[in-house]
């Protein structure tokens, strides 16, 4: 009997909480198609995630058009927008609840 074990990595990818509605410019293709993702790499054994490679998930700006991912630390503009929306949420926006995104056009 031959047992075949598969080791590998699995990356969990999710929209970052509080930034789901944020649309930012992709610095690779220039489209306003970037979204903020949280990516977390795990070591897998037989496709079961066992050990996380990092304690904290990566925060990245991902573009679905050109498939370009960029660490959010290189995007101070995105961090500023997240800070604004996040802070507003905490304090409770007066009425509406419509997130205001700056227009770059
Ligand atoms: Zn792009």
Other beta carbons within 10 Å of 48: 10
Rounded to the nearest angstrom, the distance between the alpha carbon of 62 and the centre of ligand 1 is: 8
Rounded to the nearest angstrom, the distance between the alpha carbon of 23 and the centre of ligand 1 is: 12
Rounded to the nearest angstrom, the distance between the alpha carbon of 41 and the centre of ligand 1 is: 22
Q: Distance between CA atoms of 34 and 53, rounded to whole angstroms? A: 25
pLDDT band at 24 (very low <50, low <70, confident <90, very high): very high
Domain boundaries, the chain: 7-91
DSSP collapsed to 3 states, 6-73: CEEEEEEEEECCCCCCCCECCCCCCCCCEEEEEEEEEEEECCEEEEECCCCCEEEEEECCCCCEEEHH
Tens digits of per-residue pLDDT, 44-80? 988 888 888 877 888 999 999 999 999 999 999 999 9
């Amino acid at each position: 009997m031959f047992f075949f074990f598969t080791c590998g990595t699995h990356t969990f990818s999710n929209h970052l909480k509080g930034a789901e509605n944020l649309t930012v410019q992709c610095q690779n293709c220039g489209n306003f198609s970037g979204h903020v993702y949280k990516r977390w790499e795990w070591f897998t054994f037989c496709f079961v995630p066992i050990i996380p490679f990092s304690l904290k998930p990566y925060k990245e700006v991902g573009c679905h058009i050109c498939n370009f991912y960029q660490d959010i630390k290189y995007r101070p503009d995105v961090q500023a927008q997240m800070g604004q929306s996040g802070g507003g949420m905490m304090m409770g926006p007066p009425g509406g609840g419509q997130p205001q995104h700056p227009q770059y056009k």
